[in-house]
Amino acid sequence: MPLTVKVRSFLRNLFSTHRVEVDLDQEVHSHLEMLVEENIREGMSPKEAQRAARIELGGIEQVKEQVREERIGNWLRSAISDCRYGVRQLRKNPGFTAVAVLTLALGIGANTAVFSVVNAVLLKPLSYRDPDRIVTLSNFSTSREAPTALSKQVSDPDFQDWHDQTSSFEAMAYYSSREKAVVRGSAAEYARVTSVSPEFFRVFGVDALVGRSFTVEEMKQGAGGAAMISYTLWQSQFGGDPRALGQTMLCPEPRPIVGVLPAGFRFPDNTDIWVSDVESPGSRGGRNILAVGRLKADVPLKRAQIEMTTIAGRLEQQFPETNRGLSVTVTKLRDEMVGNVRIMLYLLLGAVAVLLLIACANTATLLLSKATGRTREVALRAALGASRKRIVSQLVTESLLLAFVAGLSGLMFAHFGSKILVALAPADVPRLAETGIDGWVLGFTLGMSMITSLLFGLVPALSVSKVELNDALKQGGTRIATGGRMIGIRGVFVVAEVALAVTLVSAAGLLTKSFVALHHVALGFRPENVLVMRATVSAPFSVGIARTRQFFREMLAQVGTLPGVLAAGATMAPPGYVDSRGDTLSISCQRNRIGVVRLTWCFPL
C-alpha cells in the first residue's frame, strides 16, 4: 500500500471515527444479510437462515473488533480510549488513587533525587572542552615498603622534566591552591587563591571572558605577576564592572587584575582568584604542587601512562636520592575528582531502588485487591468480544496513568529531596552544586514511571484477564474466580515486600549504629563550648616572619583580657584538622555554665 494511502487511512481512522464506525456497521450487517439470503436460497426458513448466518459470522461485535484491530493507527485510537476510561476509573476511586499515587511518588521521588546527585557528580561530563582528554599526574610509590602509596603532590623539578620529555600531551600545567586573606582597598576577606603555571588555562581550554590571560612576562620569575578572577567574584565584589581590570588585590602579594574567567569555571575547589606563579623552583624532594595535562587528540590514556612510566624510570636513575621507587600514574580528571564518592552514591542509589521495589509490590497488592471487584466487568467485556490482549492493554494503561501521576508528584519530592541531600552531603563531594532537575533527570523519571507501571500493573492485569466466563457471570462469581489464584499472587507480593523492607531496614539500622558509635568516639579532649576561629595576616612575605608572629602575640594577649575568657591558646591547627601549608590563625573559645569563655587561639609561633 502506498505511503500516501496509509497516511490518508490513518488520519481518517483517527479524526473521522464516527463515520468509520457507521461504515463498519453497515458493512457487517450487509455481509450478514448476504449470508441470510444465501441460506434461504438453500431452503432454510428465514428464522433458521438468520440463526445460521449469525453462527457462521461469529458475532457482530466480535467481527467489528477484529476489523478495528487490523486498521492502520488503531493502536492510537485504542490508547486514547483506554486513557479516557482509565481517568474515569481513577476518579471513581479517589481513596485508592491517593494511596497508590503517594506510595509510588515517594519511591520515584527518592530515586529521582538520588539520581540527580549521581547525574551531577558521576554522569554529567565536565564543563570543559573535550573533558575526557584532561588528566591528572600523581606520584606513585613502587617500593616494597609502600607498593600502593599514592601522592597527588609532585615536585617542581620533576614536573619540569615531565613537561620537557613527554610527547603525549598537548599542554601540561601545575597549580597550588589554598584559602588566603585577600585585601582590596580597605576590605579584607577569605578567598580561594590558586597559583598556576603558564599552560594551566590551555589544559582546560578556557579563555578570559573579559580582559586577557597571563602574558609570558608575567609568568617569569622576578616579575610582579598578575591575577585573574572568577565570574562569581567579579559579580559579587565588582558588580560586573569592566573597570575591575587594572585594580590591585593583595593576595598576599599585590597583583593587578588582568582578566575575568567565564561563569562556571572554578577549578580547583571553587577558586576565586588565579595568580601567575612567579616563585623560584623548589627542591626535587619537596612535593607541594599538583599536576594536570591535556592529552593530544590521537593519544589514548594507556599510551600516555606508558610514556610517563618510562620518564619516571629515567628520573629514578638520574636522581636516586629523591626519586627511588617513585613512578607516575595518569588518571582522568573526572575519575580523580569522584574518588571514593562513586561507591557511596551507587550504594545510595541501590538503597532507594529497593525502596521503589517495595512501593511497586505494595501498589501491585492494592491493584490485585481492586481487581477482585472487577472480575464481572472483565467477563462482560470478554463476552462482548474484547480479546485478552485488549483487556490487558486497558488494565496496563490504567497502571501507566497511575505511574504518570505518581511520577509528576515524585518530581516535586525530588526537587526538595535533592536540596536536602546537597545540604547533608559532605563538603568534599565534587560538583555537588551542579545538582538539579535537568533533561536527563526528567528522562530518568519518565523511564522509572514506565518501568514501575509494568512492575506493579502487568501481573494484576494478566491475572484478572484469566476469567472463566460462565463462573464469572454467575451470581457470586467474583469470589469463585478470584479465590485461589488471586490470594496466592497477593501472598507472593506481600512476602517480597516484607523481605525487601527487612533488608532495607536492617541496612539502615547498621548504618545508624555505626554513625552513633562514631559520634561517641573519644576525641582525647573536651570539645564542649569550644569556639574555633581563624585569622590570617595578609601581608607580603617581605614583611618578615618575626613581625607576623609579633602581631599574633599581641592579638592573643588582647583576646585573653576579654570578659568571660578563662584561657586562650594557639596552635597551627585545631585538633582533627591538618594543613601543613596553612598560614591561618585558629582561635577556639570555651564557654562554661555561667557564661565564661575559655579561648584557644591557634597560630604559627
Question: pLDDT, tens digit, for every residue of 96-152?
Answer: 889 989 999 999 999 999 999 999 888 888 888 899 999 999 988 776 554 444 568
Between 426 and 296, where is the model more confident? 296
In a domain, residue 132? The reply is no
Domain shared by 285 and 222, yes or no: yes
Q: pLDDT tier at 380 (50, 70, 90 boundaries)?
A: confident
Residue where one domain finishes, among candidates 493, 518, 543? 518
- Could you tell me which residues come within 8 angstroms of residue 517 by beta carbon, excluding any fewer than 6 positions away? none
How much is the average pLDDT of 567-596?
Answer: 51
pLDDT at 7 over 70: no
Flag whether pLDDT at 507 surpasses 90.
no
Domain closes at, from 518, 542, 573: 518
Among 28, 80, 78, which Cα is nearest to 54's? 28
No. of helices (H) and no. of strands (E), the chain: 20, 15
Q: What is the average per-residue pLDDT within 233-245?
A: 90
Q: Is the pLDDT of residue 479 over 50?
A: no
Q: Which pLDDT score is estimated for 330?
A: 93
pLDDT band at residue 74 using 50, 70 and 90 as cut-offs = low
pLDDT of residue 581: 41
pLDDT at 599: 43
Of 276-290, 345-359, 537-551, the range with the lowest mean pLDDT is: 537-551
- Indicate whether 470 pLDDT > 80: no
How far apart are the C-alpha atoms of 308 and 311, rounded to whole Å?
A: 5
Task: Verify that 301 and 255 share a domain, yes or no.
Answer: yes
Does the pLDDT value for residue 31 go beyond 90? no
Does the residue 19 lie in any domain?
yes
> Are residue 412 and residue 320 in the same domain, yes or no?
no
Please provide the DSSP assignment of 92-154 as one string: H-HHHHHHHHHHHHHHHHHHHHHHHHHIIIIISPPSSSSGGGEEEEEEEE-SSSSTT-EESEE
- Final residue of a structural domain among 518, 544, 563: 518
CB 157 within 8 A of CB 288: no
DSSP conformation class of 561: T
pLDDT in the model for residue 174: 92
pLDDT value of residue 40: 85
Same domain, 432 and 578: no
Cell of 405: 501521576
In the predicted structure, residue 350 carries a pLDDT above the cut 70: yes
- The whole-number average pLDDT for the span 484-493 is 70
Q: CA–CA separation, 503 vs 358, rounded Å?
A: 11
Residues 557 and 487 in one domain: no
User: What is the model's pLDDT at position 585?
Assistant: 42
pLDDT of res. 394? 82
Confidence of residue 582 (pLDDT cuts 50, 70, 90): very low
pLDDT of residue 542: 54
DSSP 334: H
Q: Are strands 254-260 and 227-229 parallel, antiparallel or unpaired?
A: parallel
Predicted local distance difference test score (pLDDT) of residue 272: 92
Q: Is 116 within the bounds of a domain?
A: yes
Count of beta carbons in the 10 Å neighbourhood of residue 584: 22
| Residue 269 CB-half CA count within 13 A | 15
- Confidence (pLDDT) at 210: 92
User: Does residue 60 sit within a domain?
Assistant: yes
The predicted-structure confidence for 272-325, as pLDDT tens digits, reads as follows 999 987 666 677 877 888 999 999 998 999 999 999 999 999 998 998 888 888
Pairing of strands 530-535, 169-184: unpaired
CA distance 368 to 376: 14
- The whole-number pLDDT of residue 135 equals 95
Residues 253 and 318 in one domain: yes
- Reduced to 3 states (helix: H, G, I; strand: E, B; else coil), residue 222 is coil
Among 216, 209, 214, CA closest to 232: 209
* Residue 334 falls inside a structural domain: no
pLDDT of residue 465: 66
pLDDT confidence of 603, banded at 50, 70, 90?
Answer: very low
Q: Is the pLDDT score of 228 beyond 90?
A: yes
In a domain, 90, yes or no: no
Residue 329 lies in a domain: no
84 domain-assigned? no
Q: In the predicted model, is pLDDT for residue 452 greater than 60? A: yes
Report the candidate in 343, 415, 352, 361 with the shortest Cα–Cα distance to residue 110.
Answer: 352
Determine the structural domain holding residue 419 and report its residue range.
95-123+342-518
Answer with the residue of higher pLDDT: 216 or 464.
216
Task: Say which range, 236-240, 387-391, 501-505, has the weakest mean pLDDT.
Answer: 387-391
Domain check: are 101 and 63 in the same one?
no
Residues 484 and 549 reside in one and the same domain: no
- Pairwise CA distance, residues 22 & 369, whole Å: 39
Average pLDDT, the chain: 79
Number of separate domains in the chain: 4
Quick one: 265 and 231 in the same domain?
Answer: yes
The pLDDT of residue 116: 92
The pLDDT of residue 108 is 92
Task: Mark whether 194 and 300 lie in a shared domain.
Answer: yes
What's the pLDDT band for 477 if we cut at 50, 70, 90?
Answer: very low
Cβ-in-10-Å burial (0-12, 13-18, 19+) of 116 comes to buried
For residue 580, pLDDT over 50 is answered with: no
pLDDT of the residue at 295: 95
Q: What is the DSSP letter of 262?
A: P
Higher local confidence (pLDDT), 530 or 236: 236
| 64 and 149 housed in the same domain | no
Q: Which one is predicted more confidently, 331 or 83?
A: 331
Residue 376 has pLDDT above 80, yes or no: no
159 lies in the same domain as 264: yes
* Of 20, 286, 312, the residue nearest 140 (C-alpha): 312
First to last CA, the chain: 91
Over range 83-95, report the average pLDDT.
86
> Is 586's pLDDT higher than 60?
no
